[in-house]
Chain A
């Protein structure tokens, strides 16, 4: 098999964690074959050493002031040029907002197959296969690529470890010859506005603390924030809390919200409707805090506390501070 190409997303001049995960997985799958990494931006060269440390043999730089923010058409042209430059068997992208958006556009441009939001990619004698959650994690699908070159996959954040490679990549840096056209910028981001409150997104966070119907109103989300802050995690919410208008839908975890798989998920006052379970059941460790001992959330919890969250959360914050020093 040939080499592997990974798209590494930068925002504000840093490589996102989900991208480093994709680079690490690319290195693992590539074995002795070449791993190339594409970075696009206004001055992406500064990020090349980091990509090399994570195993990149070649770093392809698409450098243009107009690439500082995401423009789907322009990024797609850069990605297609990178594919043409290294002719990979497999093209991986992080399943981030940008990665998912870009991957679909590029797959259509190349006429190839794309597997979204994968939790495993395996090389076999018949080529690559991927495993991905469907029905928001209520089931898992195994997909095979047929006549797809390159096979394309986006990788779910927080699933693949950021590993030190067995050997560092060669890290040869080359600028990619991309001729961007006017029409590539027909749609383009002109600014980024941070969401109100926290900037840590539930889909990316390693720890998520969520509140549900038992929050009773927007003001009580301060308890959720308090626990999230003590753990350095993000604030999530159930659909009930979002639909009641207590918190922005950006925070919603569940089938019509975000699907998350953090190391630790703490559900506070969430009964565990199938809608919600679909969005968080693949979390590595689940803690449930609920007054109702019969709540379905306890069926999937690794650890549970039957009790009043307004009493439990402050105690928990205190205890976490002790443990963490």
Chain B
């Protein structure tokens, strides 16, 4: 089975957000970059599918030069090859622009299965997986916590409000991974050494046959115009006295002042 995994390099989840000088971007000077946590579930699942039934795993990312580190991490986990889609023309892409770049790269690979994280932390858009499926004319199942490949199709559990949907799908299919799908492995020392010899192929817009006006800032239909920190919170009323009095006070305030109970 040929499996493509879409990953993204994102700021560490513990990052303190500092707004950049332009007022609409993240100040990246003190950011440490990681593989998006949900993408790790996607890579792990791809490796498990491969280990169970054979095949090949290619990881794909869109990003600047630094994003190669994320690909190297996935190769160290056990992916076979990597594809780095890097072109200044891709900068400022909205989700649909990213999906267009990814679709152009993944289509010639003719994968049987595409896996991605259910969303990339930071931008929090939750769009690219389903968009990629649409552009490739494939079905998709989003926010998956359980996956079983069988008889040329798959059965997935998809997380919804207070329940799971049991979803059947044909292959090829795009799956987006949710926490709970598996427990991602750590790269072994052997894996890290092996990853250094594995190929990372780089492709730009012209190699992908992409019209630059359809991607990046030029093609974006949604543009970020301002980024700001949430308004600071006022100091609350904290009760340290005896618990009984504290509880009485807080419940009364919730009822009379905040009016939420």
Complex: A37 Cα to B98 Cα, angstroms: 30
Say yes or no for A55: interface residue by CB 8 A criterion.
Answer: no
**Chain A residues closer than 8 Å to B258, beta-carbon distance:** 264, 284-285, 302-303
Within 8 A of A (CB), among B129-147: 129-131, 133-135, 138-143
Chain B nearest CB: distance from A49 CB in Å? 24
Stretch among A135-143, A159-167, A168-176, A210-218 lining the B interface: A135-143
Complex: A72 Cα to B227 Cα, angstroms: 32
Chain A nearest CB: distance from B255 CB in Å? 5
**Chain B residues closer than 8 Å to A293, beta-carbon distance:** 238, 240
Complex: A70 Cα to B166 Cα, angstroms: 10
Within 8 A of A (CB), among B217-261: 220-230, 233, 236-240, 243-244, 246-248, 250-255, 258, 260-261
Complex: A248 Cα to B253 Cα, angstroms: 32
Residue of chain A at shortest CB distance from B137: A183
Complex: A3 Cα to B25 Cα, angstroms: 32
Contact B179 A115 (CB under 8 A): no
Contact B237 A303 (CB under 8 A): yes
Contact B160 A97 (CB under 8 A): yes
Chain B nearest CB: distance from A42 CB in Å? 16
Say yes or no for A323: interface residue by CB 8 A criterion.
Answer: yes
Say yes or no for A63: interface residue by CB 8 A criterion.
Answer: no
Given A134-B124, A193-B166, decide whether A306 and B247 contact each other with a Cβ distance below 8 A.
no
Cβ 8 A contact of B223, one of A143, A252, A312, A324:
A143
Given A101-B143, A108-B96, A256-B121, decide whether A113 and B221 contact each other with a Cβ distance below 8 A.
yes
Contact A138 B17 (CB under 8 A): yes
Say yes or no for A177: interface residue by CB 8 A criterion.
Answer: no
Say yes or no for A287: interface residue by CB 8 A criterion.
Answer: yes
Residue of chain B at shortest CB distance from A248: B180
Say yes or no for B164: interface residue by CB 8 A criterion.
Answer: yes
Given A105-B130, A187-B170, A204-B161, decide whether A139 and B229 contact each other with a Cβ distance below 8 A.
yes
Question: What count of chain A residues pass the 8 Å CB interface test?
Answer: 100
Contact B239 A305 (CB under 8 A): yes
Residue of chain B at shortest CB distance from A203: B161
Residue of chain B at shortest CB distance from A73: B139
Chain B nearest CB: distance from A78 CB in Å? 15
Contact B237 A302 (CB under 8 A): yes
Cβ 8 A contact of B166, one of A114, A140, A192, A323:
A192
Contact B139 A186 (CB under 8 A): yes
Proximity string of chain A (180-210) to chain B, C-beta cutoff 8 Å, 1 when within and 0 when not: 0000001111111111001111011001000
Complex: A249 Cα to B247 Cα, angstroms: 30
Residue of chain A at shortest CB distance from B230: A140
Contact A148 B167 (CB under 8 A): no
Contact B247 A315 (CB under 8 A): yes
20 of the cross-chain contacts (CB-CB < 8 Å) are A97-B158, A105-B134, A111-B221, A113-B94, A140-B229, A144-B222, A145-B223, A186-B169, A187-B167, A187-B168, A188-B168, A191-B166, A198-B162, A199-B162, A274-B16, A275-B14, A284-B258, A304-B237, A306-B246, A311-B243
Residues of A within 8 A of B (CB): 16, 69-70, 72-73, 76, 96-98, 100-101, 103-105, 107-109, 111-117, 129, 132-148, 186-195, 198-201, 203-204, 207, 231, 248-250, 252, 255-257, 259, 263-264, 274-275, 278, 281-282, 284-288, 293, 298-308, 311-312, 315-316, 319-320, 323-324
